[in-house]
Amino acid sequence: MTFSASEIRQEFPALARVIHGKPLAYLDSGASAQRHISVIEAVNDYERNYHANVHRGVHTLSEEATALYEGARARIVKFLGAKSSREIIFTRGTTEAINLVAQSYARPLLKINDEILITHLEHHANIVPWQMVCEQTGAKLVVVPMDSQGEIHLEAAIALMGSRTRMFACAHVSNALGTVLPIQKLVEAAKARGITTLIDGAQAIAHFPVNVQALGCDFYVFSGHKMFAPTGTGVLYGREALLESMPPWQGGGDMILTVSFTKTTYNGLPNKFEAGTPNISGVIGLGAAVDFLNGLDRAAAHAHETALLDHATDRLRKIPGLEFIGTATNKASLVSFLVKGVHPHDLGTVLNDEGIAIRAGHHCAMPVMEYFKVPATARASFAFYNTLEEIDRLGGAIEHAVKIFS
């Protein structure tokens, strides 16, 4: 297998767009990655030829749709190194997966003054569901501090893992800072203390292989749209024994075996957690994204992303008045920064005029912004389809913006 960014990007139709007369430089894959052609075609093929409801019909189309949908689940099992399809629940995304665990796993378990441990750099999706369950149960949210580089230290986390800690939930990679957390060690420390672990893999899954058994975590969650698959898809991996012990989250079709007005019995895993008609076409697209990633030399793709990150760091560092927010030693695929005299939103607008797409804002990580005492940052996030030339264009366009606003 060989890897070439300039070749692979031909397989992402949206990357051929011209914006304001300039070739699109899409540097916002952290928000949502572009769709690979095989994903678009798999969804198209399903919609044209196989659409029917799943798990319900005896007719050919329903059987075919079910086979495609369950085929995608089988792909995810292998992709994550899970033990069986009973451990893979399809959700609308990372957010829904965390809410499911908060409500179905944590809520029945938590007692007054129990603790849920998260870190300071979490996305709101890994803060608010825990706050909600704390309000419902009288449990407390405890936060592992972050240092000025945007790093989370194992010792700081261990210091807060006490006899009342029931759950440790943290990001694999920070979306606002790019920090890669020492997940393996954090999970080991939590496990050694009998604490259940959830890893938010939203910003990791597209960038490096994840093996949930090697990690040893109890739950691992991510969104399809950040790994080149459709929006409205996501995965909750959960250890079978835990998922088995959890009550259903939502009630409705497909999650039951029998219903009467006096008693309902629930379906087994994974259907117990997939009430209602699912996002069939999206999940089939997610399966196609897995095939695409499996066909890629992922080590080479990751090496290219590291080269992009290094080049961006070197190039942007040369811009007077530019300050990086998030300077962890181990970072993945994004740079977050401020430019003196230019508000991040204005910068985003000027860059858009140059055909360059970045994200400006708080990145749904307001506690991170509060820590660095900034309302927002500009963020350029990369995928393996980006090129060094695009980074050079970013550097030039920021310098242009500085001139406009000075």
The whole-angstrom separation of Cα 249 and Cα 263 is 17
3-state secondary structure of 117: strand
Query: One symbol per residue from 181 to 220: x for binding ligand C6P (CB under 6 A), - otherwise; what is it?
Result: -------------------x-xx-----------------
86 is a site residue for ligand C6P (CB under 6 A): no
Alpha-carbon distance values, 63 to 71, 84, 274, 276, 278 (Å): 12, 21, 18, 17, 15
For residues 157 and 351, give the distance between their C-alpha atoms in angstroms, rounded to a whole number.
39
Using CA atoms in the order 178, 355, 222, 84, what is the torsion angle rounded to 10 degrees? Answer: -120
Tokens of 405: 């606003």
Structure tokens at 19: 């914006």
Listed residue (361, 390, 366, 392) closest to 377, CA to CA: 361
Q: Is 134 among the residues known to form the active site?
A: no
User: Per-residue string for binding with ligand C6P, 342-371, x by CB under 6 A?
Assistant: -----------------x---xx-------
Site string for ligand C6P, 147-186 (x = CB under 6 A): ------------------------x---x-----------
| Per CB under 6 A, 233 contacts ligand C6P | no
Q: Give the nearest distance from C-beta 121 to ligand C6P in angstroms.
A: 9
Contact code string over 287-326 relative to ligand C6P, x by CB under 6 A: ----------------------------------------
Using an 8 Å Cβ cutoff, are 382 and 29 in contact? yes
> Cβ closer to ligand C6P: 230 or 395?
230
Kindly state the tokens that stand for 298.
Answer: 């992922």
**Number of Cβ within a 10 Å radius of residue 45:** 14
What residue number has its CB nearest to ligand C6P?
A: 175
Active site residues: 364
Contacting positions for ligand C6P (CB under 6 A): 30-31, 93-95, 123, 125-126, 171, 175, 200, 202-203, 223, 359, 363-364
